[in-house]
Amino acid sequence: MSVCVRKREKQKGEEEREKHEEVQPPTQDVTDLCVTFNSTALTSSCLFLSLSGDNGNRAALASAHQAQPLPQTLSVLESTPQVRGMHTIIRNKETSRDEFIFYSKRLMRLLIERALSFLPSQVHIVQTPQGEDYEGRTFHGKRALKRKSQTRPLCFEQITGVSILRAGETMEPALRAVCKDVRIGKILIQTNQDTGEPELHYLRLPKDISEDHVILMDCTVSTGAAAMMAIRVLLDHDVQEDKILLVSLLMAEMGVHSVAYAFPQVKIITTAVDKKVNDLFHIIPGIGNFGDRYFGTDAPLDWSDDDMDEPSC
């Protein structure tokens, strides 16, 4: 009898628990929540892995950044009448090559000067020929601290320029014009025609680049694929992320968001940002193929505003 009583009591207890047990509402998986929250940003940061999709996927990627505010790490040159006028000339398809080169160089000089203003500096007092003190500024870099004298020009031994071939190479004279004897490195990134992904084909960097602020130069940035790979290469060579400045004449919003999300400490400086990118990843309204317009060569049918095409010698 005792066994039967225990069975009845156990059965009764289970029925009472089922009666009072609250039914929990279905919950969304934490992973799903994370994916939902980060889907747009994650898509932007991984564009360079997805360039070979069909037109539908390309359109989705091209619109992934929309409705997002531009990142705080972006600095756009003030659109003065002069800057706007130079853009009008270089964007015009009827502009001659000589005019295109001339006004592009003017913009590059302004762009480099703007980039240099973001480098760290400290108060430095000098004496004028009149025997009076002048409180100015001098570059505050690791190598500068190693020198006994701080009277040498701003850009000596503390800054390295790195150009993404081939269009980025056109910005080197502007950098040398304001930073005498600045060291220059070069990176060549090309698109794999089978996979559509960027690949590193050539690299030449100065010694001890890890101690420098690096000005990374590329004339146009659409998706940011080449720029992100170049930044990754610099980081692999122990350059600090917050010491990298990406400078470009023209960028698409897609490229800005991609770079800023993947590398939030990299400073981005440009003269203009265009909102759209078409299904071929050309910046709209854009500037055309900068390298071919500058060097006077014919653009291939599958050219991209990210400078990952075959270089012309």
Q: List, for residues 36-47, the tens digit of each pLDDT value.
A: 223 333 333 344
Upstream peptide bond of 147 is cis (omega within 30 degrees of 0): no
Mean pLDDT of 150-166: 71
Cite the beta strand spans of the chain per DSSP E.
74-76, 121-127, 133-139, 159-165, 183-191, 198-204, 213-217, 220-221, 244-248, 250-252, 267-270, 273-274, 276-277, 283-284
pLDDT bucket at 16, cuts 50 / 70 / 90 = low
281 vs 237 pLDDT, higher one:
237
Kindly write down the DSSP assignment for every residue of 153-182, as one continuous string.
-TTTTTEEEEEEETGGGGGHHHHHHHSTT-
Instruction: Flag whether the pTM goes above 0.85.
Output: no
How many residues make up the chain in this entry?
313
Radius of gyration of the chain (CA): 27
The CATH number fitting domain 49-295, selected from 3.40.50.2300, 3.30.110.30, 3.40.50.2020, 3.30.497.10? 3.40.50.2020
At residue 90, what are phi and psi to the nearest 5 degrees? -75, -20
Q: How far is CA 49 from CA 31, 42, 46, 276, in A?
A: 22, 11, 5, 20
Whether the pLDDT of residue 144 is over 60: the answer is no
Model pLDDT, residue 134: 94
The string of pLDDT tens digits covering residues 192-213 is: 777 767 789 999 999 889 989 9
pLDDT bucket at 105, cuts 50 / 70 / 90 = very high
Q: How far apart are CA 178 and CA 117, in angstroms?
A: 12
Tell me the percentage of the chain whose pLDDT exceeds 70: 68
Domain extent listing, the chain: 49-295
Whether the pLDDT of residue 247 is over 90: the answer is yes
310 vs 227 pLDDT, higher one:
227
Whether the pLDDT of residue 56 is over 80: the answer is no
**How many angstroms separate the first and last alpha carbons of the chain?**
101
The string of pLDDT tens digits covering residues 251-288 is: 999 999 999 999 999 999 999 999 988 888 899 999 99
Highest mean pLDDT among 54-63, 151-160, 173-182: 173-182
Closest C-alpha to 258, from 234, 285, 225, 287: 225
Whether the pLDDT of residue 34 is over 90: the answer is no
Cα angle vertex 257, ends 256, 260, to 5°?
85
Query: If you search the block for the tokens 């990210």, which residue do you land on?
Result: 306
Model pLDDT, residue 137: 86
Cα angle vertex 268, ends 206, 284, to 5°?
115
Model pLDDT, residue 37: 28
- The amino acid at residue 239 is V
Instruction: Provide the CA 304 distance to its chain's centre, in angstroms.
Output: 16
pLDDT bucket at 54, cuts 50 / 70 / 90 = very low
Kindly write down the DSSP assignment for every residue of 102-118, as one continuous string.
HHHHHHHHHHHHHHHTT
Q: How far apart are CA 166 and CA 164, in angstroms?
A: 6
pLDDT bucket at 232, cuts 50 / 70 / 90 = very high
Long-range contacts of 274-280 (CB under 8 A, 24+ apart): 274/250, 276/62, 276/252, 277/62, 277/222, 277/223, 277/252, 277/253, 277/305, 278/62, 279/55, 279/58, 279/59, 279/62, 280/58, 280/304
Task: Please give the structure tokens belonging to residue 203.
Answer: 């690299």
